[in-house]
Structure 1
Amino acid sequence: MTVLIAFLANVLVAIAKTVAAIITSSASMVAEAAHSWADAGNEIFLLIADRQGARKKDERHPLGYGRSAFVWSLIAAFGIFTAGAIVSIMHGIQELGSDEPVESPVIAYIVLGIAFVLEGASFTQAVIRSRRLARERGSSTWDFVIETSDTTLRAVFFEDAAALIGLVIAGGSIAIHEATGEAIWDAVGSILVGILLAVVAVLLIGRNLAFIVGTSASPELRSRVGRALLEDPAIERVTYLHIEYVGPNRLFIVAEIDLSGDEREHDVARRLREVERQIEAHEVVETAVLSLSVDDEPSLDFGRDAEALDYSATLRAGAATDLVDPGVVDGAQR
């Protein structure tokens, strides 16, 4: 829903900015029109990302299709860079030597004001959702948006934030141009909007590349999952744990465990499968692979404390926020 709201807002804003750019001959308005059309196109890629990433796993993709969401989001980020940043910067450079005045600046201000309201509504939706999820994870809103595996939410958040800042830059550039009579300020506004888009695009490209290459979970999530495993009465200890994101809010868990009791090999294998199925019943777990620990391997310490999870209750509730954590690091250590 967040992406759809952003798409509809961007289409309406892009049409209004294009008309205003034609009427006013403002370089900043041209940059803003390019910005909104690029954002509208990118929302289509984000919708595809959501749809592709939600596909169920099959024989050819045993870990699911979640990483395709990162790929489509990466394409959207490149769209911001090429269709938004480069066009805005190049157009601004071309207009640096122009002395053409902005025609009917009131029209530009009206369109920018309407665009600010529409973009603000979309951004507010993204902020509300991000703040709620961040609060559930005990994180700040900014840290959550930067580190979350929810790539479409991050893209909408930063695209809308950049849109609001770009509108202020465009409005200020036109105002300075009108006050001083120097057309260079309008061109500078276009260049600044392009630089802003380039910064956002590079940030989004970097985050999506990190998840495509393969990103394991944060130490906090690792500890919480480890404690959750130990809450299962069937598991006596854990000697190895690897958690990796294989899609937005989708985890691949590999663990070596020591089962309680001393059963026959056939019964132990069956219990392992039962525990795996229990873990995979959690809505954020794509696949879980368990194997038996070797006797001489040391047990992992996950800091069992007052915040330790009740694993069985978590599985019954299916509460995704109990296991998903936005933080990521380069790898899990054995």
Structure 2
Amino acid sequence: MTVIIAFLANVLVAIAKTVAAVLTSSASMVAEAAHSWADAGNEIFLLIADRRGAKAKDDRHPLGYGRAAFVWSLIAAFGIFTAGSIVSIMHGVQELAETGPVESPGIAYTVLGIAFVLEGASFTQALVRSRRLARERGSSTWDYVLGTSDTTLRAVFFEDMAALIGLVLAGGAIVLHQITGVAAWDAVGSILVGILLGVVAVILIGRNIAFLVGTNATPELRNRVGRALLTSPQVQRVTYLHIEYVGPNRLFLVAEVDLTGDAREHDVASRLREIERQIEAHPVVETVVLSLSVDDEASLDFGEDATAATV
């Protein structure tokens, strides 16, 4: 629902900016219009990402469809780069040689002000949520947003942040154009907006590629998972642990454990399956594969306070 509301808001803002760009002949407003249309298109891809990534696992996809979210988010990031960044930079370069006064600057300021309020409200929501989740994980907000597997949250956070900065750049460029009468300032504003979008696109593309090809879990997550395994009364120690993201907030775990006691092979297999089912009941765990440790393998250290840890 949040993505749908953001899409409708971006469409309305994009229409208003387009009209303002036509009436004012401002290169910065053209860049902002391209920015908003790119954001509106990206919301569609993010909606598809959420829907495709949420599909339940089946025989053909035993680890689920979560990685589809990274694929569609990657497509959305390329949309920012092509429809937003390149268009804005090219138009700004073409307008560098233009001269003349700003036409109807009041229209541009009004549209930019309304857009700033709407984008600010959306960014505030993303910021509040990110801060809350970062505090829960003992991380800074910036590190959490960059590192989270929640690709939609990261995209909304960066897009809204870029939108606010872009509005300030566009407004400042129009002010300088109006004061000095030099249209190059307006063109520079368009170029700066394009560069900003390019930087955001590169960040989002890089993070989605990292999750698609496989990225290491943070030491904090690894320790939480390891300590959670050790909370089971049937697990004596853990000698191997592999954690892989198979979607936004979806984990695939492989571990070698040493069980308590010295039960028969049949009983051991049953106990392993029981522990796997218990772990898979956690909402962020897609699949777990457990096997037995070898006696001479060293135990992994997951820090202190093992009994208090949760995934």
* Whole-angstrom distance in 1 between the partners of 2:286 and 2:148: 17
Within-5 A mapping of 1:97-176: 97-176=97-176
Report the counterpart of residue 256 of structure 1 in structure 2.
256
Determine if contact 2:71/2:208 at 8 Å carries over to the other structure: yes
d(CA) in 1 for partners of 2:289, 2:84: 44
**1:234 equivalenced with 2:234 (yes/no):** yes
1:88 corresponding residue in structure 2: 88
- Greater than 2 Å deviation, 4+ residue runs: 1-6, 308-311
Q: Distance in 1 between matches of 2:307 and 2:169?
A: 48
1:287 equivalent in structure 2: 287
Q: CA deviation at 1:309?
A: 4.4
2:35 aligned with 1:35, yes or no?
yes
Q: CA deviation at 1:128?
A: 1.2
Q: CA deviation at 1:7?
A: 1.6
Contact 1:27 1:190 in 2 (8 A): yes
Q: Please tell me whether the aligned partners of residues 2 and 153 of structure 1 are also in contact (alpha carbons under 8 angstroms).
A: no
2: CA distance, partners of 1:283 / 1:276 = 13
Q: How does 1:74-85 map to 2 (within 5 A)?
A: 74-85=74-85
**2:70–2:151 contact (8 Å) kept in structure 1:** yes
Are the aligned partners of 1:239 and 1:299 in contact in 2 as well (CA < 8 Å)? yes
Aligned to 2:217: 217
Taking the aligned partners of 2:195 and 2:233, their CA distance within structure 1 comes to 56
Sequence identity percentage = 82
For structure 1, list consecutive stretches of 5 or more residues without a partner in the other structure: 312-321, 324-334
**In structure 2, the residue corresponding to 1:215 is in which secondary structure?**
coil
Displacement of 1:192: 0.4
**Structure 1 position 185 matched with structure 2 position 180:** no
- TM-score normalised to structure 2 length: 0.98
CA distance in 1, matches of 2:18, 2:289: 54
Figure out how many residues of one structure are paired with residues of the other and give that number: 311
Distance 2:3 2:307 in 1: 33
The answer on whether the counterparts of 2:97 and 2:184 sit within 8 Å (CA) in structure 1 is: yes
Q: Secondary structure at the match of 2:100?
A: coil
* Superposition TM-score, scaled by structure 1 size: 0.91
Deviation (angstroms), 1:310: 4.4
Q: Which runs of 5+ in 2 are unaligned?
A: none
Q: Which deviations, in whole Å up to 9, do the C-alpha atoms of 1:229-274 show, x marking residues without a partner?
A: 1110011111101111111110000000111111111111111111
Instruction: Say which SS state the counterpart of residue 255 (structure 2) adopts.
Output: strand
Q: Alpha-carbon deviations, 1:152-206, whole Å to 9, x = none?
A: 0000000000000000000110110010010100000000000000000000000
- What's the CA shift for 1:71? 0.5
Map 1:10-21; keep pairs closer than 5 Å: 10-21=10-21
- 2:298 is matched with 298
